[in-house]
């Protein structure tokens, strides 16, 4: 059998994303030893029940020890503490990566803890669902989605290539960009839509009781799709908005201006304006379907 890409992989955080990666490794790289780390006993019990790891531990440093790849897959607010904790345990030549949804903060919080001789390649597999935890993961989650890697000036190209190969094994298309660019793109494509969904569902919950029950009854008319997005993990999304503040505020400003323009078009009966916009947005949907990202 050919050599596995990585002999020992430490997954620090094994929820939706970490457990999906574990399933990919189990499927495509069975010789890879997987060490899983989480805080709660229930999480590690689920990992054991699902046979997603060879070793489980509550201690991130113990997980990182001897690993040739360490993947941080926790909410962003845990990164700095984890980085401080695992730094002395990282072996020379190991690769440290992550899956966090914002990237400048990762370079800021984790970067300073990375010891000399360890390759640091922040990453973001742009794939997910509104579910959390190891039971929610599945190997096909990543198929045909994009994975964004953030090579730093000092990162060895070989380390970036190795991480890229792992995500390709998961079925992803891999692209590299700077952390700042990543955060601007994702503010538009992911963070703003989630904020809008949280707002709409929040507004509905503030309605008077009689209207609220009708919103639920008639949710199939549009509201339902927003509730799916707004069911995403509260801690993860709190961390995303706190850590991508500038880029989110920037796209939010543009969004409010466009919303005001639409408000005006409705007020003044400007049907052409509305129809022209809805025609353009329908075309966007079609191109997303053609790009197999629907």
Residues that bind ligand NAP in the complex, under the rule CB under 6 A: 13-18, 38-40, 43, 73-76, 78, 99-101, 125, 128, 132-133, 233, 236
CB of 223 to ligand NAP, least distance (A): 21
Q: Which is nearer to ligand NAP, 13 or 151 (CB)?
A: 13
Phi, psi of 93 (to 5 degrees): 85, -5
CB of 34 to ligand NAP, least distance (A): 13
User: CA–CA distance from 213 to each of 81, 201, 216, 217, 220 (Å)?
Assistant: 43, 13, 5, 6, 13
CB of 2 to ligand NAP, least distance (A): 29
CB of 52 to ligand NAP, least distance (A): 11
Classified as helix, coil or strand, 8 is strand
Q: Which is nearer to ligand NAP, 97 or 132 (CB)?
A: 132
Separation CA 289–CA 140 (nearest Å): 18
Burial 92-126, CB ≥16 within 10 A → b, else e: eebbbbbbbbbbbbbbebbeebbeeebbbbbbbbb
Q: Which is nearer to ligand NAP, 207 or 242 (CB)?
A: 242
CB of 189 to ligand NAP, least distance (A): 12
Classified as helix, coil or strand, 33 is strand
Q: Which is nearer to ligand NAP, 29 or 132 (CB)?
A: 132
Token pair, residue 179, equals 């952390």
Q: Which is nearer to ligand NAP, 181 or 277 (CB)?
A: 181
Q: Which is nearer to ligand NAP, 125 or 164 (CB)?
A: 125
- Label the pairing between strands 69-72 and 55-57: unpaired
CB of 156 to ligand NAP, least distance (A): 24
Separation CA 161–CA 10 (nearest Å): 19
């Amino acid at each position: 059998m050919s050599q596995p890409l990585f002999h020992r992989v430490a997954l620090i955080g094994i929820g939706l994303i970490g457990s999906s990666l574990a399933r990919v490794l189990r499927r495509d790289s069975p010789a890879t030893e997987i060490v899983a780390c989480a805080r709660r006993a229930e999480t590690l019990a689920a990992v054991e029940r699902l046979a997603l790891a060879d070793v489980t531990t509550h201690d991130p440093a113990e997980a990182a020890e001897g690993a040739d790849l360490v993947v941080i897959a926790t909410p962003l607010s845990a990164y700095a503490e984890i980085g401080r904790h695992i730094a002395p345990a990282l072996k020379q030549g190991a690769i440290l990566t992550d899956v966090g949804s914002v990237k400048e903060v990762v370079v800021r919080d984790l970067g300073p803890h990375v010891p000399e001789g360890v390759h640091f390649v922040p990453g973001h597999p742009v794939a997910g669902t509104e579910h959390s935890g190891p039971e929610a993961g599945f190997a096909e989650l990543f198929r045909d989605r994009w994975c964004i890697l953030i090579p730093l000036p000092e990162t060895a190209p070989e380390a970036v290539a190795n991480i890229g190969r792992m995500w390709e094994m998961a079925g992803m298309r891999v692209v590299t960009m700077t952390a700042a660019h990543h955060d601007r793109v994702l503010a538009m494509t992911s963070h703003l839509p989630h904020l809008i969904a949280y707002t709409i569902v929040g507004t509905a919950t503030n309605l008077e009781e009689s209207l609220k029950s009708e919103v639920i009854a008639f949710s199939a008319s549009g509201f339902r799709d927003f509730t799916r997005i707004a069911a995403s993990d509260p801690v993860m999304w709190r961390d995303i908005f706190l850590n991508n503040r500038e880029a989110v505020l920037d796209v939010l400003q543009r969004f409010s201006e466009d919303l005001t323009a639409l408000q005006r078009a409705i007020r003044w009966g400007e049907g052409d304006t509305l129809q022209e916009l809805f025609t353009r947005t329908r075309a966007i949907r079609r191109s997303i379907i053609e790009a197999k990202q629907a």
